[in-house]
Structure 1
């Protein structure tokens, strides 16, 4: 696994714990979408890790047609373009 996605509360601490545990190589922070926005890349939240972070199942670069379905699914996040290694 080389990426995972975090929930907002305690994200920095969770990122640190996940990195120390050696469960990932690179972390990225996702933003829960508040509205339909096709100008952002979308992260598909994957399996939960023991630290509370999640694997990234898939990344979609600015999906023009599927963005509303992705937002409604509840497991997609906008990419923040913030990475931590």
Structure 2
């Protein structure tokens, strides 16, 4: 069975593979944005956008709010787009 990801998804990687840098860990995403992503996920069953990671290092470059939501709902496979 092929899992459906949001538009722009290039791959799915396990949550544990994603590397989050201090820059993100020290920031606080907007609670309203988190709520919107959670609601979208509940409504559609997938994130609104893929998380952007570096293809080689798996370092998160964009999508920290979606990363937090994925962690909250204990998603195992995360839709990603690779940094261009």
TM-score with structure 2 length normalisation?
0.26
Q: Which has the higher helix share?
A: 2
Q: Which has the higher strand share?
A: 1
Structure with bigger RCO (C-alpha 8 Å, 6+ apart): 2
TM-score with structure 1 length normalisation?
0.26
